[in-house]
Chains A and B, each alone.
Chain A
C-alpha cells in the first residue's frame, strides 16, 4: 500500500519551463528523500530532508519539506532534456529503517 501520493503523475514540458512536483501524505515522516530514476536503471538519490520547513537546493532543483513533515515539493527551474526521468519521493517514519516510495512523477522535457 502506497502512503505517498505524487502529483502530477505525468508531465511533459518544453525546455526552459519551470515545474513543481508534489509529494503528499497523511503520515508524518522523520525524513524524506527524492530520487530520479532513468529507464533500465535503479533510483539515484537526489536529496534527503529531515527538518520541517527545510529547503535544499541542488543546482536548478529546489526541494522543500513541509512544516508538518507530511509533504514535500520539488521545483525545477529552466528544465533541460537531461531532467527527463521518473521522480520518486520516499519517506521514512521515526524508528523504522525502510523508506516507503511514492507513486512517482514521470517527467519528459522536450528540446
Chain B
C-alpha cells in the first residue's frame, strides 16, 4: 500500500487478556518504530527495528510488552496480561533509511482495556 497500515484500528480488551497489534510499513522501508500515545499527549517511543533487528527496546514499559519484525517487514506489538494503564493509541512509523530521516506514521490502534 501507499502508506503505513495498522490493524485493528480499535481494540477493546478485558484486563488480563493478551493482545497483538499489527503494523504494515511502507514497502522497502528499513526502519520501523512503535510509539505509545496517551490521550492529549505526544507519542512516547517504545521500540525501534532496523530491518529484522530490534536495536532499541528501551521504551517498552514492562516485560509484558514484546515486539517483533521477523522478516524485516510486518511488525507485531504484543501486550500480555493487559492492564488499564495500557490503554492508549499505539502508533507505528516507518522510514526509508536508518538514522534521523523522515518517518511516516500509521493511523494507530486505539487500545482500551476494561
Contacts and interface: CB of A to CB of B under 8 A. Distances in A.
B100 A99 contact: yes
A104 B42 contact: yes
Contact of A104 (B31, B40, B103): B40
Nearest to A30: B100
Interface stretch (B67-75, B78-86, B105-113): B105-113
A4 B45 CA distance: 13
Interface residues of A, number: 26
B105 A98 contact: no
Interface residues of B, number: 26
Given A43-B105, A45-B102, A100 B45 contact: yes
A101 B106 CA distance: 16
Contact of A97 (B4, B91, B98, B105): B98
A6 B41 CA distance: 11
Interface string A75-111: 0000000000000101010001111111110100000
A33 to B, nearest CB: 8
A42 B100 contact: no
Contacts of A31: 100
Interface of A: 2, 4, 6, 30-31, 33, 40-45, 48, 88, 90, 92, 96-104, 106
